């Protein structure tokens, strides 16, 4: 009798173990990653700073990639383009940030139609096969978490904060400096106006003084979620996405389209398209839309100053 009970218990245990194994295998199978669905301006699973792989000849009619700073405005322009043209949204692909350098290289490699850059191209990037089309200017702002009491900052105070000499806000709260990677377009914009800011940045990198963020999306999340934080960001991204991020005046000058146009606000950067050869079809129509009256109006409405240009 005891032997029969033991055999029954053994069978039951084996059955339970086998069932657990089948359940485990079904879960593994279920969560094995598959192809990314083709959705309008889908954020593809491209690793940071890695260009898109060689493109399919027919899957998308328009592919764009490059600097993360350009993405919020590009999404707005693509949405408007699709609505006005009655265009199939699933045939357009906007990749997540691969940086200005990555966007230029992806165009050279013929992996995308249009590269997106947020800085002046370097000399070694001025390939004769490439054309750079500036289309918007945006204010680079000293952005802070909503709980920071300051409304204004001087250039001297900005340097002191990034040097680590000024460590608290006026209410006694600790300042948390958020730094971007070397070569970031917003840091370059400030360094053009305050040359010593470059050395302050380099010293901070060398000493590993501050938290370094590698994408605009990371800076955005950090500014929203880190009390006392300060970092460089762009005004258009804040306004177009209605982000809970504050930004400071510089020596009493508030960043806006008006002060940017007049030149009284000091920090800014330009967005450009990068193309190889002559655009045709949907890519050409999209760039024409950006430079149209409708495109320019959209840019102004979302905090970007449109620039004059034409499609070559």
Quick: pLDDT tens for 68-106.
999 999 999 999 999 988 776 668 999 999 999 999 999
Give CA–CA dist 125/66, Å, rounded. Answer: 14
pLDDT, average across residues 233-254? 97
Shortest CA distance to 41 belongs to which of 68, 86, 71?
A: 71
pLDDT, average across residues 257-265? 97
The helix (H) or strand (E) run that includes residue 293 is helix 293-301
Asked if residue 43 is part of any domain, the answer here is: no
Asked if residue 30 is part of any domain, the answer here is: no
Q: Domain tally for the chain? A: 2
Whether 168 and 231 map to the same domain: the answer is yes
pLDDT, averaged across the chain: 86
Whether 275 and 252 map to the same domain: the answer is no
Whether 231 and 166 map to the same domain: the answer is yes
Asked if residue 230 is part of any domain, the answer here is: yes
Buried b (16+ CB within 10 A) or exposed e, 78-88: bebbbeeeebe
Per-residue pLDDT band for 192 (boundaries 50, 70, 90) equals very high
3-state secondary structure of 277: coil
Lowest mean pLDDT among 1-15, 29-43, 205-219, 235-249: 29-43
Structure confidence by residue, pLDDT tens digits, 103-135: 999 999 999 999 999 999 999 999 999 999 999
pLDDT, average across residues 206-233? 97
Whether 174 and 208 map to the same domain: the answer is yes
pLDDT, average across residues 3-29? 50
Reading the block at residue 72, the tokens are 């919020």
What per-residue confidence (pLDDT) applies to 306? 97
The answer to whether residue 3 scores a pLDDT higher than 60 is no
Reading the block at residue 282, the tokens are 């949907």
The answer to whether residue 37 scores a pLDDT higher than 90 is no
What per-residue confidence (pLDDT) applies to 56? 52
Give CA–CA dist 71/68, Å, rounded. Answer: 5
Per-residue pLDDT band for 310 (boundaries 50, 70, 90) equals confident
Whether 183 and 239 map to the same domain: the answer is yes
Asked if residue 94 is part of any domain, the answer here is: yes
Asked if residue 9 is part of any domain, the answer here is: no
What per-residue confidence (pLDDT) applies to 22? 46
The answer to whether residue 189 scores a pLDDT higher than 50 is yes
Buried b (16+ CB within 10 A) or exposed e, 16-51: eeeeeeeeeeeeeeeeeeeeeeeebbbeeebeeeeb
Per-residue pLDDT band for 223 (boundaries 50, 70, 90) equals very high
What per-residue confidence (pLDDT) applies to 54? 57
Cα dist. 277→39, 61, 108 in Å?
27, 17, 10
3-state secondary structure of 153: strand
Per-residue pLDDT band for 50 (boundaries 50, 70, 90) equals very low
What per-residue confidence (pLDDT) applies to 67? 96
Residue 11: count of CB within 10 angstroms of its CB: 10
Residues in the chain: 312
Whether 243 and 184 map to the same domain: the answer is yes
What per-residue confidence (pLDDT) applies to 89? 60
Whether 252 and 276 map to the same domain: the answer is no
Whether 217 and 239 map to the same domain: the answer is yes
Give CA–CA dist 233/247, Å, rounded. Answer: 9
DSSP letter (8 states) at residue 181: P
Shortest CA distance to 202 belongs to which of 191, 213, 193?
A: 191
Which residue range(s) make up the domain with 254?
139-268
Whether 294 and 214 map to the same domain: the answer is no
The answer to whether residue 1 scores a pLDDT higher than 70 is no
Using an 8 Å Cβ cutoff, are 236 and 248 in contact?
Answer: no
What per-residue confidence (pLDDT) applies to 91? 86
Percent of the chain with pLDDT strictly greater than 70: 80
CA dihedral 205, 95, 50, 243 (to 10 degrees): 10
3-state secondary structure of 263: coil
Whether 229 and 300 map to the same domain: the answer is no
What per-residue confidence (pLDDT) applies to 158? 98
Asked if residue 17 is part of any domain, the answer here is: no
Whether 152 and 133 map to the same domain: the answer is no
Structure confidence by residue, pLDDT tens digits, 167-184: 999 999 999 999 999 999
User: Which domain CATH number covers 104?
Assistant: 3.40.190.10
């Amino acid at each position: 009798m005891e032997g029969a009970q033991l055999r029954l218990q053994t069978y039951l245990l084996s059955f339970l173990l086998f069932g657990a194994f089948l359940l485990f295998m079904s879960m593994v199978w279920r969560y094995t990653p598959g192809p990314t669905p083709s959705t309008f301006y889908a954020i593809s699973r491209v690793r940071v700073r890695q260009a898109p792989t060689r493109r399919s000849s027919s899957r998308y009619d328009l592919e764009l990639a490059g600097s993360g700073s350009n993405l919020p405005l590009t999404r707005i322009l693509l949405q408007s383009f699709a609505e006005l043209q009655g265009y199939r949204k699933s045939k357009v692909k906007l990749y997540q940030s691969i940086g200005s350098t990555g966007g230029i290289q992806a165009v050279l490699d013929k992996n995308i139609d249009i590269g997106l850059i947020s800085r002046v191209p370097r000399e070694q990037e001025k390939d004769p096969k490439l054309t750079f089309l500036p289309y918007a200017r945006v204010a680079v702002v000293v952005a802070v978490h909503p709980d920071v009491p300051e409304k204004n900052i001087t250039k001297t105070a900005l340097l002191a904060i990034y040097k680590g000499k000024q460590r608290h806000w006026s209410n006694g709260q600790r300042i948390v400096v958020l730094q971007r990677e070397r070569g970031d377009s917003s840091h370059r914009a400030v360094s053009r106006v305050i040359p010593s800011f470059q050395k302050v940045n380099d010293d901070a990198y060398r000493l590993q003084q501050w938290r370094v963020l590698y994408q605009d999306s990371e800076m955005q999340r950090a500014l929203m979620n880190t009390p006392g934080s300060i970092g460089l960001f762009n005004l258009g991204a804040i306004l177009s996405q209605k982000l809970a991020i504050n930004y400071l005046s510089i020596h009493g000058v508030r960043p806006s389209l008006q002060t940017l146009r007049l030149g009284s606000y000091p920090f800014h950067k330009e967005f450009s398209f990068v193309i190889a050869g002559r655009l045709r079809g949907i890519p050409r129509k999209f760039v024409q839309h950006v430079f149209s009256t409708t495109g320019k109006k959209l840019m102004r409405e979302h905090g970007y100053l449109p620039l004059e240009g034409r499609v070559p």
